[in-house]
Amino acid sequence: GPLRVLVFGAALRADSANARLAALVARLISDTGAAVHLAAMRDFDMPLYDGDMEATEGLPHGALALRDQLEQSDAFVISSPEYNASVPGVLKNAIDWVSRVRPQPFKTKNAMLLSASPSLVGGNRGLWALRMPLEHLGTRVYPDMFSLAHSYQAFAEDGTLVDPGLQQRLTETVSGFLSLVEADVRYVCLQRR
């Protein structure tokens, strides 16, 4: 069947530039014939990680929803804001909860990281921080990350990027990522025969 890709923005606010970037990438992936699930961080609403809660109640619904979405995908894409040069607490908290599941859902999954920020560097430092927990969990993080600067002026009405050069670079990054995922999924299928 077609590749299944989970895409979500990591900010909670409705007008999030990262949600817009996630929606744009979801469209680009969908254009290649892959099956895309575009999610929002609100779909994965969960309390702060608490070991006592885990011991008595298990994982909260939001964490289980993210676990389910990851399990149903061959790969995932996160568009995350940079908070104080690092990962937003909401996203780190979600990763921490989901990392408690066995089998561990982040392991051997391919991921592409995007960021959007009104700043000049587009939140790229936050992505380097995000690589750390994901790679620790065994996710194969695509080396080429895409960071969108001046995010409040970057989008056209139709949801694409105003700058055609940037739009092309984003399209090429997505296509490079998908080729890798496809080769990886095919390799795993051959091994299982």
Residues in 8-47 at the binding interface with ligand FNR, rule: CB under 6 A: 11, 13, 16-18
Judged by CB under 6 A, the residue of 64, 118, 129, 182 near ligand FNR is 118
Instruction: Find where tokens 């994901």 sit.
Output: 134
Phi–psi pair at 106, nearest 5 degrees: -80, -20
Residue located via tokens 């290649």? 32
Q: Which of residues 122-181 bind ligand FNR (CB under 6 A)?
A: 123, 151
- Single out the residue of 30, 32, 104, 119 in contact with ligand FNR (rule: CB under 6 A): 119
Nearer to ligand FNR, 59 or 83 (CB): 83
110 touches ligand FNR by CB under 6 A: no
Question: Interface residues for ligand FNR in 48-107 (CB under 6 A)?
Answer: 81-85
Q: Count CB neighbours of 159 within 10 A.
A: 11
Instruction: Provide the Cα torsion 123, 124, 125, 126; round to 10°.
Output: 60
Q: What are the CA-CA distances from residue 178 to residues 55, 88, 110 (Å)?
A: 38, 26, 9
* Contact residues: ligand FNR, CB under 6 A: 11, 13, 16-18, 81-85, 116-119, 123, 151
